[in-house]
Amino acid sequence: MSSLLRVLVFARAVRGRLALAVLTGALALGAAVGLMATSAWLISRAAEHPPILTLMVAIAAVRALSIGRGVLRYAERLVGHGAALGVLRELRVAVWKRLEAIAPAGLPEYRSGDLLTRLVADVDAVADVLLRVMIPAAVAAVAGAGTVALVYWLLPSAAVTLLATMLFAAVAVPWLIARAGRRTEQRLVPLRGRLTALAVELIHGAPDLIAFGAARRRLSLLASLDGELAKAQACSARTTGLAAGLTALAAGLAGWAALALGISAVHSGAFSGVALAVVVLIPLAAFEGVTMLPPAVQHLQRGRRSVDRVSEVLDRVAPVREAAAPVALPSAPYTVRVVGLRAHWPGAGTPALNGVDLELRPGRRVAVVGSSGSGKTTLVSVLVRFLDPSAGQVTLNGTDITTLASDDVRCVIKLCAQDGHLFDTTIEENVRLARRSATPEAVRAVLAQVRLLEWVDSLPEGAQTPVGEHGARVSGGQRQRIALARALLADPPVLLLDEPAEHLDLATADVLTADLLAATAGRTTLFVTHRLAGLEAVDEVIVVHSGRVIQRGSHAALIAVAGPYRRMWDRERAAVDPV
């Protein structure tokens, strides 16, 4: 019931259309019952060879009911599917917005393939609960009650047997099916999620799996999981067949019982022979609605698991709490101050940052250096509101950023991450993602700033060259420079560069760092790196270790004294680039 109530909450915006779908469905089923009853009466009465005029009303009714049944069934499908598609659209957008709100800090425990299943297949299953469970159940209840009332008016004893067999098919059979297939149906949804997640990882990791000879083992695991899913689906199909058989048995029993009771009533003179055909054939049409209920139970069991998986995403607490009434964004120029900052990642026992202070005044460039795991990326995540501080404060022109809308903060502070994503489109479109109104000339200007223009012009298609999925058609250095060009095109008041030279060889990394320092001259910039080459151009260098600031000052001042920065500098100078 909790799952059904949650689905109703999702569907509250379309409850009027759902009610209309139930009404038209009940009328369509009623038209089917009326058509069967009228046809039975017409055939039986015609066998007595009455005057043709006595049959004209029944003939017209048969035509009207046959046409009306089709029209009403179409209307029910049209309205019901329209309502379900509306719920599907709203729910998918809601899930995406929630994923956006909890990313990236709240996503590490989810596999990308499983998230894809939740966003697509599970949301589809929630909409199916409306179409295949709620609407059919309501239609069967309304139409079934009306049919029993009609038969009771004709032959009360037959109505009792019809009610009993319909309750058996509508309640007992679904209950038995639910008991028999509960574990199977609840396993299907997670199995699909695991299979999708494994398939996505297999596709993305194919080069490494092949290179290290692990592809066969992963394929065996995929085949094993697929076999497990196939067995669960076969078990579900057997349960569906059993339900169909029991429902057909109930419909047959209802017909035979009506025939036996009707013959007895005809012999006693309490019932006419013409009406006997009506009472016997009505159950055949009445069970049309009931036959949808056992499959509906199976869809409900699958849908419940999907509702739980979707709800798990929607109910997940975001690592960033949005202000109920965000204050207005201060006017430029912008100064960012970090005072006593302490931050934890979700689920972490120790803080990733502890007591960090920092000031970014207009036009000032600050570098934050340290080894991997020292808290550099955590600082960036707090500044762009991917993570909330546990203690301390981050202000923008004196306004606490937690009181501002996150989107407003990100309009001022832009991040170019070390793993910036390239989409499977052209170089120009990847750069213009930062500013859709940018002209081709503006794109060429930022490509020149990151020293890519000469290479782009040498390509046959120029800036219209596709980069492939995840930038597979360009080198690592080119991929990083395209991401940097995107950040520069955004022209933010404050720019954060998180390990822009990561994964590059030393020579390329140093050249890229020099280019970046030249491109950001006069721009408020926070430069996060573990490489020290070129940092003499920044205004301040901050050294962090285990989430704490252990040194700060200019590059020249820090290498002039013994300490962590001097040791990092000496190690870097002693390193030899094998290239």
Going by pLDDT thresholds of 50, 70 and 90, the confidence category of residue 110 is low
567 contacts: CB under 8 Å, gap ≥ 6 = none
Taking only Cα atoms into account, the Rg of the chain, rounded to an integer number of angstroms, comes to 35
Fold of the domain spanning 336-574:
Rossmann fold (3.40.50)
> What's the CA dihedral at 95, 96, 99, 100 to 10 degrees?
-140
pLDDT score for 499: 78
Residues of the chain with CATH 3.40.50.300: 336-574
pLDDT score for 411: 84
Average pLDDT estimate for 212-230: 85
The domain 2-314 is placed in CATH, from the list 1.20.1560.10, 3.30.420.40, 3.50.50.60, 1.10.3720.10, at 1.20.1560.10
pLDDT score for 67: 92
Return the minimum-mean-pLDDT range out of 101-110, 292-301, 511-520: 101-110
Instruction: Tell whether the model's pLDDT for residue 74 goes beyond 90.
Output: yes
DSSP helix/strand/coil, 345: coil
Instruction: Tell whether the model's pLDDT for residue 119 goes beyond 60.
Output: yes
350 contacts: CB under 8 Å, gap ≥ 6 = 344, 547
86: left (phi over 0), alpha (psi -120 to 50) or beta: alpha
* Rounded to 5°, angle at Cα 310 from 305 and 312: 95
Which has more pLDDT, 121 or 576?
121
Which has more pLDDT, 13 or 141?
141
Instruction: Tell whether the model's pLDDT for residue 1 goes beyond 60.
Output: no
Return the minimum-mean-pLDDT range out of 134-143, 234-243, 393-402, 488-497: 234-243
- Rounded Cα distance between 402 and 393, Å, is 9
Going by pLDDT thresholds of 50, 70 and 90, the confidence category of residue 75 is very high
Regarding pTM above 0.75, the answer is no
552: β partners: 542
Average pLDDT estimate for 408-415: 86
Which has more pLDDT, 449 or 502?
449
Structure confidence by residue, pLDDT tens digits, 6-19: 777 777 778 888 88
Q: How many percent of the chain have pLDDT more than 70?
A: 94
pLDDT averaged over every residue in the chain: 83
The residue among 474, 458, 477 whose CA lies nearest residue 466 is 474
E strand or H helix that includes residue 128:
helix 123-129
Structure tokens at 350: 């120790």
Structure confidence by residue, pLDDT tens digits, 152-211: 888 888 888 888 888 888 888 878 777 766 676 667 767 877 888 788 788 878 877 888
534: left (phi over 0), alpha (psi -120 to 50) or beta: left
Query: What is the DSSP annotation of 455-521?
Result: HHHHSTTGGG-B--GGGTTS-HHHHHHHHHHHHHHH--SEEEEESTTTTS-HHHHHHHHHHHHHHTT
E strand or H helix that includes residue 551:
strand 548-553
Instruction: Tell whether the model's pLDDT for residue 578 goes beyond 80.
Output: no
540: β partners: 366
Structure confidence by residue, pLDDT tens digits, 340-365: 888 888 777 788 888 888 888 888 88
The residue among 317, 494, 344, 322 whose CA lies nearest residue 402 is 322
pLDDT score for 486: 87
The residue among 377, 383, 384 whose CA lies nearest residue 338 is 383
The residue among 574, 558, 557 whose CA lies nearest residue 566 is 558
Average pLDDT estimate for 216-226: 86
Query: What is the DSSP annotation of 171-235?
Result: IIHHHHHHHHHHHHHHHHHHHHHHHHHHHHHHHHTHHHHHHTT-HHHHHHHHHHHHHHHHHHHHH
E strand or H helix that includes residue 552:
strand 548-553
Average pLDDT estimate for 134-149: 87
* Rounded to 5°, angle at Cα 526 from 525 and 529: 130
- Rounded Cα distance between 114 and 565, Å, is 43
Average pLDDT estimate for 373-381: 84
Residues of the chain with CATH 1.20.1560.10: 2-314
Which has more pLDDT, 359 or 418?
359
pLDDT score for 277: 83
Please check whether residue 173 is in contact with residue 250, taking contact to mean a CB–CB distance below 8 angstroms.
yes
Instruction: Tell whether the model's pLDDT for residue 107 goes beyond 70.
Output: no
Going by pLDDT thresholds of 50, 70 and 90, the confidence category of residue 579 is very low
Instruction: Tell whether the model's pLDDT for residue 71 goes beyond 90.
Output: yes
* Rounded to 5°, angle at Cα 144 from 140 and 145: 125
Which residue type is seen at 46? Answer: A
Return the minimum-mean-pLDDT range out of 24-28, 151-155, 219-223, 414-418: 414-418
